[in-house]
Amino acid sequence: MQTYFDNAATSFPKPEVVLEATLEFLQKCGASPGRGAYGQAKEASNLLERCRSVLCNLVNASGSNLIFTLNCTDALNLAIKGIASHYLHQGESVHIVTTAMDHNSVLRVLNALSADGVAHTVVDVDSNTGLVDPADIRSAITPTTRLVAVAHGSNVTGVVQYIHEIGAICKGVPFLVDAAQTMGHLPIDVSNMNIDLLAFPGHKGLLGPLGTGGLIMQPNMIPLIEPIRFGGTGSASESPVQPTNVPDKYESGSHNMVGIAGLLAASEWIMSTGIETLYKREISLCEQFISEMQKVSNVQIVGPQSTKDRCGVFSLVFEEPPHVIADLMEETAGIRCRSGMHCAPFSHQTMGTDQLGGTVRVSFGPFHTSEDITNLVEAIAQCAQPALV
């Protein structure tokens, strides 16, 4: 029986092949790509490029550039700061559009950039569903809008935005999608969804190790995004100036090759299992959870009340504070879940849960079973009883 329900933060457990791949890299390779012409360095370089290729294939991004980053936050920083720096250095005004369902990985970057004169608009969303109306995105775009940033799936309510429609509206304005809760969970097609920039973590739905992530860039984005880190790249070592070729332009320093070896194995496992298969399985678990929760009193699901427009992330409101319930869930049933504001303050303000201290969040992974969901609901029902708290 699985009791870990915090996959929105970090997936657990990982496929066995991830453990095998990380250990094999440490035992048999251990070298840094681009830092030598000997066999192990070449092997590391080959592994790095294989991982780029598999991840691009996963989201139909052939011909795009994949930049490896520390995590999704790092990727979002590169996209937002990089494009803002480009226009600021040209002496142009910069305005960025985002939504009330976005994460602090976007919101805090925008607030930090306000000191440099970068303006931003946070578009409101429906307070029941958490969905943003694409027409409101259109209305927020101005002549100085240089970027639109939208979280594909909410880390609070699991609501999945209409990325295809928003992407069509943004044509001519770079469109950045935060896929922290959707990459590896549901199908993404960078080309059909009109996505210019796709930021993702390696350690959540992609089932890789912590310390991995990336930013997929359409080729026309490269001239618009300045690097935010500078240093050794293994190429053009004779020059004290940062190289302009991609990916070296953005990938300074040694890569987390242990993590990338695991990420490659995880991504290949996802490709062989089938993203559609994984998505259908997750939606089936969501349907079961919603159905069984209808019989539980003193608890409310926040956000979408069906599987339409959602992924396997659920926020719950109890009659007691969320941290009390989360502790009780682990104490009484061994259930590991997360309580609080989940680094998304506007999401909670929108959904009316900010004054409650946030919510109790449960989130599903590919190894959960129907029995696990039933056990989870039973634990929720037990912890919702006033006499128990």
Write down all domains in the chain, each with its CATH number in brackets: 16-273 (3.40.640.10), 275-383 (3.90.1150.10)
Predicted local distance difference test score (pLDDT) of residue 37: 86
pLDDT score of 129 more than 70: yes
Give the pLDDT of residue 387. 56
Give the 3-state secondary structure of residue 72.
helix
Mean pLDDT of 29-52: 93
Reply yes or no on whether the pLDDT at 345 is more than 60.
Answer: yes
Residue 386 pLDDT greater than 80, yes or no: no
**Calpha distance 310→257 (Å, rounded):** 33
What is the structure's pLDDT at 118?
Answer: 98
**Mean pLDDT (the chain, rounded):** 96
- pLDDT in the model for residue 234: 84
> CA–CA separation, 352 vs 157, rounded Å?
12
In whole angstroms, how far apart are CA 206 and each of 23, 203, 310, 374?
18, 6, 18, 25
Cβ distance 77 to 213 under 8 Å? Answer: no
| 25, 258 contact by CB (below 8 A) | yes
The reported pLDDT for the residue numbered 325 is: 97
**Per-residue pLDDT, 236:** 84
Q: What is the pTM of this model?
A: 0.97
| pLDDT attached to residue 320 | 95
For residue 388, the model assigns a pLDDT of 57
Judged by DSSP in three states, 20 sits in helix
